[in-house]
Structure 1
């Protein structure tokens, strides 16, 4: 089981990225808790259904590349991550964003319980 905050975040976010890159909205949503608060670049939603709906609306060919900037262990079963993410598209320039996530351990697995994207601080 991963022990450092960065290892924990990479374990979840690598799976999220793989599902985003494959344009598999249901698989993306499977990495979120049932009560996850999800804020993309339009109105927020709660739970995996909202996540799947959001990613279903994203264009085929969109990919994500992330870099973890900061981590904090909030509790034994909670890790905060602050990231920069570039969403790339086939027909337009990449979209750089800032992303904050909180991942929560449920049993032996980690899931995203809070996800908030912002364009603040981006060029």
Structure 2
């Protein structure tokens, strides 16, 4: 990765997201999102807003962790950025769910927040 890629806001946001997810901090997780964020997790419905995101993460079992792999980034001007990450959610029982995580980020003041979040479960042998 180039130095420019390593400083892309996606890396910082993913690092903060992972830390909050792994420690089951739903309030911190919600704070990473814009107030009107769109969120598509494992559920069948698209959620909107921080409160919906908070509720989603509060319902995640406390023993789940996220393992972030390869990250791809792109820019959309000075106030927007995005990217994709290979993420595997795990728990101590051996359950694992590999996903492609897609984020659109928006700069608010001096901080980057998640404007759009989408996971797509990786299926093998289709």
If the length of structure 2 is used for normalisation, what is the TM-score? 0.88
Return closer, same or farther for 1:98/1:110 CA change in 2, 3 Å cut-off.
same
Do structure 1's residue 27 and structure 2's residue 39 form an aligned pair?
Answer: no
Q: Which whole-Å CA distance do the structure 1 matches of 2:109 and 2:115 have between them?
A: 14
Q: Which whole-Å CA distance do the structure 2 matches of 1:59 and 1:110 have between them?
A: 27
Q: Which whole-Å CA distance do the structure 1 matches of 2:5 and 2:79 have between them?
A: 11
In structure 2, the residue matched to 1:52 is 54
Secondary structure in 2 matching 1:75: coil
**Residues 46-85 of structure 1 aligned to structure 2 (within 5 Å):** 46-85=48-87
In structure 2, the residue matched to 1:114 is 116
Q: Which whole-Å CA distance do the structure 1 matches of 2:107 and 2:21 have between them?
A: 21
4-13 or 91-100, larger mean C-alpha shift: 4-13
If the length of structure 1 is used for normalisation, what is the TM-score? 0.90
Return closer, same or farther for 1:33/1:5 CA change in 2, 3 Å cut-off.
farther
Question: How many equivalent residue pairs?
Answer: 120
Deviations 1:47-78 (CA, angstroms, capped at 9, x unpaired): 11111111111111111111243211011111
Structure 1 residue 6: Cα displacement: 4.3
2:99 to 97, 100, 104: 97
Structure 1 residue 100: Cα displacement: 0.4
Secondary structure in 2 matching 1:90: coil
Q: Which runs of 5+ in 2 are unaligned?
A: none
Cα-Cα RMSD: 1.6
Larger C-alpha radius of gyration, 1 or 2? 2
